Amino acid sequence: MKRAGVSYFGVRILRHVRRDLADIAARGYTAVLHTFSENDLAYYRGTMADIVAASHELGLEVQMCPWGLGRTFGGEAESRWVTFQPEACQVLDDGRRVATGCLNNPAYRAFCKEWANAALEAGTDYVFWDEPHWTVPEHVGVEAERWACRCDVCRERFGGPMPTELTDEVLAFRERSTVEFLREMCEHVAGRGGRNTICLLPATEGTQGLADWNEVAAIPGLATLATDPYWKHWDEAAGPFVRRFARLLRETADRHGVGAQLWVPSFGLGAQDIPELEAAVAAAREEGVDDLWTWGYEACRHMTSLATPDAALVWDAVSAALAASHTSGASGVARLVMCPHAS
């Protein structure tokens, strides 16, 4: 599937969202991902439905992601659920409980299904399960060597005495638990007529990697397998790193008859990074991935922690690379050329 998409977040005033969506469509993008945080779930459900409808009016396909939900998914959003349900949160190897929902806990799984129901009610075309992961120590202010989860639920599911070290057996259990969690979520969404995308971190080893992507690609109800090889986060050169994971993604997706989607960053990049960005897009296409997205709109220049002084240049560059658009003038306003909606 040929598709160019971009994430959008940070604005909930519909008239301003409409203006930005028109810009996205004019640049040649055919799809948009709207973040759907716990704050949105609590206070903006009707607004989010209006935003999805406005996207569809412009011919944009829509994905919605659980932005920062329970601190187990990607995103710069905080979780209030973890303050309401501390007993369902993860437990570190040293016995401390931390503010991250446990993927094995039935209460947390029920909350994720509640979130998915709301996303479907808002009209999303795809539920985008973004970077599902166990506790990242730096995200909860603990020592880097700590790991989770050793809560009562996990220890019971482990099926025997659970080591306090991150052994191969514990790593395998965590991977198996992640896949089982995703299987339950995908089956829930598919059972309600929705479509699922799962975005895996670009890692097959280490504390957050999944060794066998086939286990995820084979999940019933999965429509699209995605990954986001943001090379600077991994201290890698863009071209080879993106090519490696684009190839793994394409081969795995083809093997299981699902779509392949790859994300490149536009946040955090300066003008000097544009050649690497273009090399990353070229590598993905050369490996046969045509469903390409970027995080995020205007290279996230509205968000202090993600922006750079060159965000406007990077946004023009990534839009040209992904959506084959043309911009006019230093303002970066797109020439109004509407592209047909991808299907």
127: enclosing H helix or E strand:
strand 126-130
Q: How remote is the C-alpha of 197 from its chain's centroid?
A: 9
Per-residue pLDDT of the chain (343 residues; tens, 9 = 90+): 799 999 999 999 999 999 999 999 999 999 999 999 999 999 999 999 999 999 999 999 999 999 999 999 999 999 999 999 999 999 999 999 999 999 999 999 999 999 999 999 999 999 999 999 999 999 999 999 999 999 999 999 999 999 999 999 999 999 999 999 999 999 999 999 999 999 999 999 989 999 999 999 999 999 999 999 999 999 999 999 999 999 999 999 999 999 999 999 999 999 999 999 999 999 999 999 999 999 999 999 999 999 999 999 999 999 999 997 433 333 333 333 333 333 2
Which pLDDT value is given to residue 220?
98
- Name the CATH superfamily for 3-334: Glycosidases (3.20.20.80)
Total-model pTM: 0.93
Which pLDDT value is given to residue 325?
42
CB-count exposure of residue 247 (10 Å: 0-12, 13-18, 19+): middle
The residue among 125, 115, 110 whose CA lies nearest residue 45 is 115
Q: How remote is the C-alpha of 105 from its chain's centroid?
A: 22
Cβ-contact 131, 227 below 8 angstroms: no
Taking the chain, what is the end-to-end CA distance rounded to the nearest angstrom?
8
Q: Ramachandran region of residue 156, left (φ > 0), alpha (ψ -120 to 50) or beta? A: alpha
Cβ-contact 119, 191 below 8 angstroms: no
Q: How far apart are the C-alpha atoms of 325 and 332, rounded to whole Å?
A: 11
